[in-house]
Amino acid sequence: MKGKIKRNNMAILPLEDFLQKHRPAYEKRYGPLALIDQLKEGDVVNKSSGLDYEIDDIKKVLSKIGESKDFPYGKINGMLRSDAEAIKALFDAEGQTRKGKKVLPFSRVVEEGLGECLEKSVLSHLFLQNFPQVHEHFLVSGNIGSDDGEVGYHSFNLAKRNGNWVVIDTENPHEKKNGKVIPYIVPIQGVQASNDLPLKLDETRRNKRKYFLRL
């Protein structure tokens, strides 16, 4: 995609153009975006108010996935069970208090097989860092919405493969048929130059969802 596309009087920028040319000016006006391009051991990722994960033992975490010739969407989706109460209990039992926050090694939640959108996105991100078929990628703490207007906090991934950017939502597949997970890996056509930065997705595959780069 070249240049700008006008849609409903709002500019649609290619994601590459936004990241390389427009992001600094946007962040100066609206504040930093929660886009993480690399995670290393010792880094901290915010789970929620008062709760943080410390990235630890990446090799051990990735060993839970095993080797894969393609992005292991179904494996990551299935190995972490969404249970907010169990995750909170794990923080309460094992989290260390630092500067008023509970900090838990990320490997512990993976070992327990627990994870909502953030945990699955972090695990996806760690895999993508070691996946040669993907050249650029981000862990995003943004928003998700739907055509009926509902919007809420959500973590997901962006990945660039063969020159094309996609959204990867490991928490929410398209659907499951006969026990098979249909991955939500959808091409990005651009990003709308507005304060919440909605992504323009392939209309035939977005499944009535909307993703935003800004909370």
Confidence band of 3 (pLDDT split at 50, 70, 90)? very low
The answer to whether the predicted template modeling score (pTM) of the entire model surpasses 0.85 is: yes
Is the pLDDT at 86 greater than 70? The verdict is: yes
Percent share of the chain, pLDDT over 90: 84
What is the predicted pLDDT for the residue at 180? 81
Q: What is the pLDDT of residues 22-33, one digit of tens each?
A: 999 999 999 999
pLDDT at residue 10 in the model:
67
> Residues 191-210: what's their mean pLDDT?
94
Is residue 136's pLDDT more than 50?
yes
pLDDT band at 147 (very low <50, low <70, confident <90, very high): very high
Q: Are 122 and 75 in contact (CB under 8 A)?
A: no
Q: Using DSSP bridges, classify how beta strands 101-105 and 51-54 pair: parallel, antiparallel or unpaired.
A: parallel
Q: What is the mean pLDDT of residues 135-150?
A: 93
| Average pLDDT taken over every residue of the chain | 92
Lowest mean pLDDT across 9-13, 75-79, 119-123: 9-13
pLDDT at 1 over 70: no
- Tens of pLDDT, residue by residue over 41-71, are 999 999 999 999 999 999 999 999 998 999 9
Residue 175 has pLDDT above 90, yes or no: no
Per-residue pLDDT averaged across 139-156, rounded? 94
